[in-house]
Structures are given as structure tokens and as C-alpha cells.
Structure 1
């Protein structure tokens, strides 16, 4: 008996230290699914058999790609949230099947890929659609947004007449979430901001404000400082398959997120892909009685290692379903995806005949704003190529 008591007293400090360690480590309740240098995916079991998936992205080691469908209509003067209502364009971006997006991403970056999620809210369930709120892609504001649920003169609900949107801004070192100003466009109007999205603070999402905080699929995002030096270098993304927005945000709070928490597109469109686990949550098929399709989406975020690996260079351009009709003296966004750092050339062709050098040299960052100064004829195409012209992608006009 004395030996048993002695053994119990021996175990008590060990058990106490284990319990303290577990309590002080919020990740101890998560199951690691895929961990690499710079990123990790975890799973947490929720009540009633539901699940939450946490991604921790270290921006010092990982790169974020905005994967956007090509433009077939610029939506001139239709933007509602960038430098004043009607002060910017709100293009119709091609909606792309989630499986096609993941396959394209694999072609470009192969083993460097970590994950993909769907991102921006969108307004029409068609072959191309307008995005709800502004986006800045590699230095260019590509949309002024078009949502009826935001601070416009006549929103669909009075709550949104004064709602304050949030902006997620990131670079290759850190990310932050701040207030978005639709009158000035700040912070998207700042030259130093290269990539950013405007969206809702999680508590302002219509599902919480207008739909009684119903449980659904959601994605919420926060930032976290890891090294004690000023600047949040960690991006935390929580994807839940059935929970309220409050519950999803609460999970991030328990992990140490103290600043604003935003939400991006969720519900039936929710998509979470991991390179090791495949499609963890896939957008749902619509029923025969429903018109919308939730599996074709206009805007995704891809996460991959910052790598110097040599890969086969590629330039990918998809043809929008609608006709691409460009007008003289009206702007157009040329979009493409590539996997190299060298500059590209952009040229206008009539079949194989060169019509015009749009740009002899521009960054291979996937975007170029072009205002044609000549009438464009049926059959013309825009070709994006490496300098030698052997590798190129092509967009057919009209």
C-alpha cells in the first residue's frame, strides 16, 4: 500500500505538467493532417460529428496566388466600393470549376502546392459574375465590387447602409486586417499594397445579421504574430463544415487571434483542397429544382512554397464563355497565369499576323490593364508570351 501511495505521488507532478502543457497549447486539441516548413493543416472534431479545419500559413515561407477567371465584360462604371459608387469598373469574371482550378495549379507549381480555398463573394450564378467587393491583384485594383449588401445609397437592408468593410492585405512577409474606406479606396489605393481583398468582418455577414446566425459551412481568417517582432506573419484560416460564424471565429480567438476576423465566401461554395489530402470540402452540386451552380467560382486563393525549383514554364489563358468584345478607348484587364519570373510580351494578332505590340515587356504577374487605341476587328487575339515567343497563351476576341 505504501509503495502504491509513493507511486501515485511520483506520478502527480508528471500528470500535472502534462495537463498544464496541454492547456497552454491550444493546438493540442487539433489533429495534424499535413505539416511542412511554412504551412500546416489541422483537423478538430466539433460537436454532433462536425469538423473544423485550420490552416496556418507562414508568409515568410509561403506564397499566396489569387486565381481569378478571365474577363469577358468590364462592367464599366458599375463598381460600388472603390473611390465612390460608380467610380470604378466591376468586371464579369469567368467562373471556373474547382477541379479545373486545382488541376491548372498543379500544372504550374506541382509539388510546391500546399492548398487552395475559394475566396471572394460573388453576385450572379452565371458563366461569368461580378465580385461583391474590391480586390487588388499584383498592384492593380481589378474590381470595385457590386454587392447590394454594403455601404451604398440603397442597400438591400438598412443595416448595410453604414457597415464598415474590412481589408485583408498581405505581402511576402506579413498580413494585416484593417478598415476599408470605399470613398478613398484605402488601403487598396496605396502603392505599397500589392495584394488585398475587401470583405465582411465575420459578425457583419448576412448569415449572422439577417439569417439568425445559422450554422453552415464558413471560412474565417485572422492573423497572428509568432516571433514577437512587430507584424503578423501568420495567416490563420478556419474552415468549418457546420458551425455558426461566432463559433468559427471563437476557434480562432482560442488560438490567440486578437485583431479583426473576416469571412470570405462560404456556404455551398465552400472549397478546401490540400495537396496531400485532396478535396477536403468540395462545393455542392445544385439540385434539379435550383438554378444556381455552386461548383463554378470566380476567385480562389492558392498557397504554395516559395521555391526556386526549375519547372517547365507555362502560360495559361482560359477563353471566357461569352464573347470578349473590346472597344476602342475603353479599358480591359488581360489576365493569365504563369510559373516563371522573367518578363512577358503582350501582342495583338490577326490570325498569325502581328497587328500591334501592346507591351514589349511587362512583369509576368498575371495582369495587364490595356486600353486599345485602335478599332478591334473580329478574329483578333491577344497573345501573352515569353520573350522568344515559343511559350504563349492566347485570348480570342469577339
Structure 2
């Protein structure tokens, strides 16, 4: 047993040293907490009680999933940042408790799970919320965003009338951060771009611009080239518990990040989970005298190994808290989560479990489908997403 423990310690130390050696500026000042082939979590104690947690993700060996709450209201014509102001929809996504998302993610991917963080900024503190900026999920732009703090005609602060939003784009080989064009929707409007999120460059975050660069919890993201060839294969996520945005970004600069650095949702919503360490940073409970609560959030990023184990095939769909609003001849986003390899079918059922139509007889099991119903959808109807290989593996969304 002692020999086995020694071997495991040696392997972990070796993996950590390999990851450290890949950086132009050493990670030697960071403590390795959890290092696997393709990902590492590191910790650094800074001054004034600040702790920095760094995740280094090799996109060629890891997968990044966007985990979102189901849609109960499409917010037609309310999008502000995709293909022109008020030219797209800005749906209300169900806010999901961080522990529920964590449990579901581990249920789907088991020991392949590495970490989970909260991600997109959001607009309302209710059972469902609009997102601040556009998101592309597995090939579908699912929101045009709704923030008043961005380059729109009448922003809440004049500073934001001319800022340039940034888009983080990633696939199974690399990631990059680039300028976002709200008129054309580039780069989200490009067919080759499957997953992307729009956010602030760290220096444009309202906490820095309007709140005098206050100390808070933040999460900043940058990309890094690993092998000297064109393309940044590594995604670096820095989570700080008590720092300014400048300080958080400088930590990434010191590790060699040269391109843009963006922020994702932080403050009292900040969440960081690691499969070895458990919950590291938790969303804060709201003050009993205050509303809102910060533990129910609409958008998360899950990070996991490319599939290495046999998993129980599942399709998960949660029922939104509010009444699902679907209108005839207007688009609705069907969202689900699964871990199956086969395609799925999506069908509409009426009362008494009677099939009314094939929404899609075959589509990819990628968790998103935009549907425009040609018939009136009545209370009691059901959307059923089922595996093409085994119809008993399914999830239902009830109207």
C-alpha cells in the first residue's frame, strides 16, 4: 500500500512538473492542487487575504460544456447585441441552484468531471433571467443579450456607448478571444464557430469603470499557446476571492497571456468546484434583508475529460418554474443535457400521450434545437427528446 501511495504521489508530481514546464513564465509560485492529463488546478496565496485559483485546460484533451437552464420565455425582439439592437431574441433562462447543476453534471459524466464554474452575466434576480450578452451553444445562437451596460443607443452610462465587446470562441483544438461585432454578429454568425460567449474585456467591467476598481471576487479568462504553433490550445481561468480586476488580470499576464483577457460573472455569484477539492468558492447567501439570492444562476461552464469511461446513458430536461410560453409560428429553444453518443429524436405529444408531430426525426445529441411550431401548443402538451438507439432513454418538457 505504501508503495502504491508513493507511486501515485510520483505520478501527480510528474504531471504537475510537466504542466509547469510548458509555461514561458514558471508556475513554480503556485501550489498544484489537482493535476491530470489535460488539466490542472493551482493555488496561490497573495497579500491581504487574497487567494488565486488557476485552472489550466488543454482543449485537445478536455471538453468544455455550457450548462444552461431551460427557456420559459423567448423575449422576442428584446436582444440588443446580435445582428443589431432589438433584432434578435433574448430568452429568459431558468436560474438553477449551483448544487443541482453540480449533481446533474456529475450524474452525466461521473469521474470525467474536472471542474465547474458560473459563467455568463445575467440581468434579473428571479426564477428565470435574461443574459447580458450573446451566447452560441453547439451551433445555435441562443441569446442576443440584454445588458444596459454595453454599446447600445442609450446605455446606462455613456462610457459604454463606444466599448468593444469581446467574444471567447473554443472548440476541441483551441480557443481565442477576439472583437465582437454586434451588427453582423461576428464571429458568432460564422458556421464554423460552434461555442462562444460574449463578454467584457476585464478593463471594461463596470466594477472597474463605475465602481472605482473595487476589490471583489472575480473570474478572468485568457488563452495561451502551448507548443509554439499557430493557435492557443490552453484556456486559463483565474478565480480570485479578494482582488481588483487589474490584479486578477496581471496574474494571467505573468503566466504569459499576451492577448485579450475577459471577465465572466463574479462578485457574490462566484462559483468554483473541483472534483478533487469539492466546492472551493461558493455563491454567497443573500442577506435576509435583501433580495436577490446569488445561488441560483442561469449559465455555467463544465470542464471534463474527453470521455474515458462507460457511462449510464441519460437525457435530462428540467421543468422551468414559470409557465413555458410557446407561440405558433415563432421560434422556441428546446434545451436538454445528455451523455449519449447517438442522435436523438424530438417529438411533440398531446394529451393522452398521443404523438402530434415529429419536430425532428433525427438531430445531433448536442443539447439545443430551435423549433418554430406550426400549430398551436396547448397546456398539457409534451416535448420528448429520446435517443434514436433506445427510445426509453428520454427527457420530457411539459407545457
TM-score by length of 1: 0.93
Matches within 5 A, 1:156-175: 156-175=156-175
Relative distance call for 1:326 and 1:25 in structure 2 (3 A) is closer
- Cα offset, 1:26, TM superposition: 2.7
Q: Which residue matches 2:17?
A: none
Q: Which residue matches 1:357?
A: 358
Matches within 5 A, 1:64-79: 64-79=64-79
Is 1:87 matched with 2:87? Answer: yes
Distance 1:326 1:49 in 2: 49
For residues 206-238 of structure 1, give each alpha carbon's deviation from its aligned partner in whole angstroms, at most 9, with x where no partner exists. 000000000000000000001011000000000
Distance 1:90 1:376 in 2: 21
Q: Specify every segment of 5 or more residues in structure 1 that has no aligned partner in the other structure, as ranges.
A: 1-20
Contact preservation (8 Å) 2:347, 2:383: yes
Q: Which residue matches 1:33?
A: 33
Q: Which residue matches 2:15?
A: none
User: Superposition RMSD on alpha carbons, in Å?
Assistant: 1.1
Is 1:121 matched with 2:99? Answer: no
Secondary structure of the residue aligned to 1:72 is strand
For residues 344-386 of structure 1, give each alpha carbon's deviation from its aligned partner in whole angstroms, at most 9, with x where no partner exists. 0001112311111111100000000000001112210100001
Distance 1:310 1:26 in 2: 36
Contact preservation (8 Å) 2:95, 2:127: yes
- Cα offset, 1:308, TM superposition: 4.2
Is 1:396 matched with 2:398? Answer: yes
Higher deviation after alignment, 233-242 or 25-34: 25-34
Distance 2:324 2:360 in 1: 20
Contact preservation (8 Å) 2:149, 2:156: yes
Relative distance call for 1:378 and 1:24 in structure 2 (3 A) is closer
Q: Which residue matches 2:236?
A: 236
Distance 2:143 2:345 in 1: 24
Q: Specify every segment of 5 or more residues in structure 2 that has no aligned partner in the other structure, as ranges.
A: 1-20
Is 1:302 matched with 2:302? Answer: yes
Distance 2:24 2:89 in 1: 49
Secondary structure of the residue aligned to 1:248 is helix
Secondary structure of the residue aligned to 1:53 is strand
Distance 1:378 1:184 in 2: 37
- Cα offset, 1:309, TM superposition: 2.3
Q: Which residue matches 2:9?
A: none
Q: Provide runs of 4+ in structure 1 moved above 6 Å.
A: none
Q: Which residue matches 1:150?
A: 150
Contact preservation (8 Å) 2:223, 2:257: yes
Distance 1:300 1:215 in 2: 23
Size of the alignment, in residue pairs?
A: 376
Q: Which residue matches 1:377?
A: 378
Secondary structure of the residue aligned to 2:27 is helix
For residues 172-208 of structure 1, give each alpha carbon's deviation from its aligned partner in whole angstroms, at most 9, with x where no partner exists. 0000000000000000000000000000000000000
Distance 1:324 1:248 in 2: 40
Relative distance call for 1:374 and 1:229 in structure 2 (3 A) is same
Distance 2:25 2:288 in 1: 47
Matches within 5 A, 1:339-358: 339-350=339-350, 351-358=352-359
- Cα offset, 1:49, TM superposition: 2.1
Secondary structure of the residue aligned to 2:309 is coil
- Cα offset, 1:289, TM superposition: 1.2
TM-score by length of 2: 0.93
Distance 2:61 2:152 in 1: 39
For residues 213-272 of structure 1, give each alpha carbon's deviation from its aligned partner in whole angstroms, at most 9, with x where no partner exists. 000000000000010110000000000000000000000000000000000000000000
Secondary structure of the residue aligned to 1:27 is coil
